[in-house]
Structure 1
Amino acid sequence: MKKLIKYILLLAVLALVYLVYINYPRLNMIAGYSAKNMASSVFLADRSFEFTDSIDNSFTPINGAADEINEKEKSATSSVYGLLTRKAIYRNGLGAVLVPKGADENEAYLMPKRNQAKNGLAFPYGAGEQKDSVFENINYKLLRTAVDSMFNNNEVKQTRSVLVVYKDQIIAENYADGFDKDSKLAGWSMTKSITATLFGILQKQGKLNITDKAPVESWKDDERAEITINDLLHMNSGLEWEENYKEISDVTKMLFLTDNMPKIQEDKQLIGTPNETWNYSSGTTNLLSGILRKQFNSHQEYLDFWYAALIDKIGMHSMLVEADMDGNYVGSSYGWANTRDWAKFGLLYLHNGNWNGEQVFDPSWVDYVKTPTNGSDGEYGGHFWLNAGGKYPDVSKELYSANGFQKQRVFIIPSNDLVIVRMGLTNGEDIVDFNAFLRDIIKSIQ
């Protein structure tokens, strides 16, 4: 009997060891996400450890990690059942970053130089409050009902903010408890649209042509040499990539295991035909961030350009784009800003690149990002999502948007002179009905 018990215990131990072995890579993802998000939330967005632990990091499987923070050194550590621990550090100007194995977390780094001087103007061209305006053609009761629909049953929807801008005027603005107009919120993949815009700016400046072959040295002697910057901007390069956040995949390896994110996509092989094989890829956007870096003579110029040419130029002073350990901006995912500043980005596009009289990018760039990429069924353009295929049947097909994980949205609807921002923490596909939300806002403007 004792031998049988020992045998059973041995089998149980072996089974446990096997389960740990096959799931160990996933622990890296869980601990990595938890530590990185904790560091960003506390040290960038100024939220408390308790809030982040109980809300932002409370969904499965991330809630399996136990977090700690070190206020003095501005770091967060996360452990999954004591089996694996990851650490994220906060670097001024560059945000939070996971420390890859073997990396020197104390290595000196450059930070972007920023011009955050306030101009005294009212929103959107400054940070000042607008004068109260009442539009006779707006049914404000219906508008309020539409906005409130995003907050009804908010334990599930977890909407954090909604902002509606009509003819440059804020006509509706609402925040969940604990958030306000100054709260910095993660845009996740909305940052992709920021990254793409920088290519439009460089093209207007005559420093780059998006129809050129992508300047990637490692591709020059193989079939990847035919990939253009345009192919990358349309997620249509034909490069191998798996965008799966539930498993260990290309995207999770990139975000949680590497110190040089552009390199992950650069090293992938061609498995499709450029301009004929649409495949949504965060790796592609970070490769584009690496290509942007090569357009400048120094790393400092690259770091400064994002802010001087776009972010601070249009007064998005709350925004911070986080960088990897090698100093590449994580253009795929890690942009933070308050809701009003996200709206400013939408308004820049609504006004065809003109910001208070200055042309930031050429109006033709708007047509470019709204042109559906081959194979996307009208859903995707140049790093923006489209309604050309009728995803939102009760809204104009000219709508386009910057979209991010957990239902972050900046909707741009030119025919209605509208920019609508929704930020939240929603997990699940059918929890938020954007079609009804947008339809009802448009109906309120007669």
Structure 2
Amino acid sequence: MPFDHPLPPLPVQPDGVAWPTKAWPESPPAPDTDTARLNRLLDRAFTDPAPETMGETHAFLAVQGGQIVAERYWRDFTPGSTFPSWSEAKSITQALIGILVRDGKIDIHAPADVPEWQEADDPRRAITLDMLLRMSSGLKFIEDYVPGSVSDVIEMLFGSGQLDVAAYAASQPLEHEPDTFWSYSSGTSNIVARCAARALGADADTFREFMFWELFSPIGMRSPLPKFDAAGTFIGSSFCYCTARDFARFGLLYLRDGVWDGTRILPEGWADYARTPTPAVPDTETLGYGAHWWLDMAGPGSFSCNGYEGQYTVLVPEKDLILVRHGKSPLEAKDAVQAWIADVADCF
């Protein structure tokens, strides 16, 4: 679904607020926060047993002005608990590509480096990393999470494709001319992750070191547990476990335009690239899509990492706000969880 609103400016770290490289600064919510409504929303989400309309909410974190202003956990979960990323990992993959762009090691507008597409008459040779990041490659891929249904994502992650997820995705034929049709696909993210490794000439161990050296460690993310397949590819579509506080650090990096405590981690303009709408998104989609980031869940100008079963890191630039929610919500509860997040954002 295309959105034509201008991109709101990304806020800078407030003076006197420490960067959370070692520990998160904390403060009460700002005086204009509707704390009574916020607490009602949190009480509803953290009901035990969980409400059927939303499923289980395991963790919630709100960061405003660079400080934690609200945090809650369910049952035995704590700030030290790690949570599945599912497709939040796609946005981490986008950051890794950005670092390679920063270093001049990859060109997102050049044909993607995919060995399966190198025959001279293969129309897939026209596919660029930009098209893959925007889910507009035209490749066939069925993104269905219902057991028993025809599903490329389940076959890739848990079936015949699990030993080499990028090869499985890259073997798919074109269904549409590249850059003309939007279709959400975890397969494309794993092709992107393998392109990143090929640009580095890296095996799994080297790529893991790259992830920590260039992205995680500089911003204080100590908990990430990225998963690799047997071929050595980071499963960048789905698997990077983190604590809620570390997902918030990742969100803060983008909310601060890719700069962390005076050091540019992502190239200039990369966060804007992530949140620039993809024109080919159909009107049937309730959210917009940028480049491996979703758009407008918490109002115009917001952008987010969205994962299966209700994993979310949502950025609201106009409020200098980050909302992190992790849980286990059935697919039919997705709209209710997203509406709840929008209501929470409205409290600030």
TM-score range, shorter chain: 0.7 to 0.9
Equivalent position of 2:8 in the other structure: none
Aligned to 1:249: 151
Indicate if the aligned counterparts of 2:26 and 2:67 stay in contact, CA closer than 8 A: no
The equivalent residue for 1:292 is 196
Residue 438 of structure 1: CA displacement?
3.7
Shift in Å at residue 132 of structure 1?
Answer: 4.2
Q: Provide structure 1 residue ranges, at least 5 long, that are not aligned to the other structure.
A: 1-121
Partner of 1:208: 106
- Give 3-state SS (helix, strand or coil) of 2:36's partner: helix
Paired amino acid for 2:322 = V
Among candidates 154, 158, 171, match of residue 50 of structure 2: 154
Q: 176-185 or 312-321, which moves further after superposition?
A: 312-321
8 Å contact from structure 1 (residues 236, 374) kept in 2: no
Asked whether 1:239 is paired with 2:142, we answer: no
The 5-angstrom pairing of residues 44-55 of structure 1 reads none
Q: How many residues align?
A: 318
Q: CA deviation at 1:197?
A: 1.1
Matching of residues 17-416 of structure 1 within 5 Å? 125-128=20-23, 130=25, 132-133=27-28, 135-152=30-47, 154=50, 156=52, 157-220=55-118, 221=120, 222-246=122-146, 247-257=149-159, 258-299=162-203, 300-377=205-282, 379-387=288-296, 392=297, 395-416=298-319
Larger CA deviation: 305-314 vs 405-414? 305-314
Query: 1:290/1:431 Cα in 2 relative to 1: closer, same or farther (>3 Å)?
Result: closer
Question: Is the alpha carbon distance of 1:148 and 1:302 closer, same or farther for their aligned partners in structure 2, counting shifts above 3 Å?
Answer: same
Asked if the contact 1:147–1:437 (Cα under 8 Å) also holds between the matched residues in 2, the reply is no
Is 1:423 aligned to 2:323, yes or no? no
Determine if contact 1:275/1:374 at 8 Å carries over to the other structure.
no
Checking the alignment, whether the CA contact within 8 Å between 1:187 and 1:335 is kept in structure 2 is yes
Of 318-327 and 151-160, deviating more is: 151-160
Describe the SS at the equivalent of 1:402.
strand
Q: TM-score, normalised by structure 2?
A: 0.85
Contact 2:105 2:200 in 1 (8 A): no
Aligned residue number for residue 5 of structure 2:
none
- Shift of the 248–397 alpha-carbon distance from structure 1 to 2, 3 Å rule, reads same
Say which SS state the counterpart of residue 170 (structure 1) adopts: strand
CA deviation after TM superposition for structure 1 residue 313, in Å: 2.0
State the alpha-carbon separation in 2 of the partners of residues 174 and 130 from structure 1. Answer: 16
Cα separation, 2, equivalents of 1:345 and 1:123: 16
Output the amino acid matched with 2:316: I
Structure 2: stretches of 5+ with no match in the other structure: 1-16
Contact 2:143–2:153 (Cα < 8 Å) also in 1: yes
State the identity as a percent.
33
Look up the equivalent residue of 1:379 and give its one-letter code: G
CA–CA distance in structure 1, aligned partners of residues 140 and 247 of structure 2: 31
Deviation of residue 267 (structure 1)?
Answer: 1.0
On the 8 A contact 2:100/2:196 being kept in 1, the answer is: no
Residue by residue over 1:76-135, the C-alpha shift from the partner in whole angstroms, topping out at 9 and shown as x without a partner, is xxxxxxxxxxxxxxxxxxxxxxxxxxxxxxxxxxxxxxxxxxxxxx98523435354563
Structure 1 residues 343, 406: closer, same or farther in 2, change over 3 A? same
State the Cα deviation string for residues 389-430 of structure 1 (Å, max 9, x = none): xxx5xx431111100000111011000110000100011323
Choose 164-173 or 291-300, whichever is displaced more.
Answer: 291-300
CA distance 1:442–1:294, shift in 2 (3 Å)? closer
TM-superposed deviation, 1:362: 2.4
Are the equivalent residues in 1 in contact too, given 2:99–2:266 (CA < 8 A)?
Answer: yes
Q: Structure 1 residues 239, 129: CA separation in 2 closer, same or farther (over 3 Å shift)?
A: closer
Secondary structure, counterpart of 1:294 in structure 2 = helix
Cα distance, 1:444 vs structure 2: 3.1
Q: Which amino acid aligns with 1:322?
A: K
Cα RMSD over matched residues? 2.0
* Contact map agreement 1:283 1:332 (CA 8 A) in 2: yes
> Which stretches of structure 1, 4 residues or more, deviate above 4 A after TM superposition?
131-134
Change (3 A) 1:149 1:363: farther
**Alpha-carbon separation, structure 2, partners of 1:123 and 1:426:** 34
Normalised to the residue count of structure 1, the TM-score between the two structures is: 0.67
Q: Deviations over 1:18-68 (max 9, x none)?
A: xxxxxxxxxxxxxxxxxxxxxxxxxxxxxxxxxxxxxxxxxxxxxxxxxxx
Question: The residue matched to 1:149 in structure 2 has which SS?
Answer: helix
Cα distance in 2 for residues equivalent to 1:350 and 1:150:
26
Query: Which has the higher Rg, Structure 1 or Structure 2?
Result: 1
User: Shift in Å at residue 148 of structure 1?
Assistant: 2.3
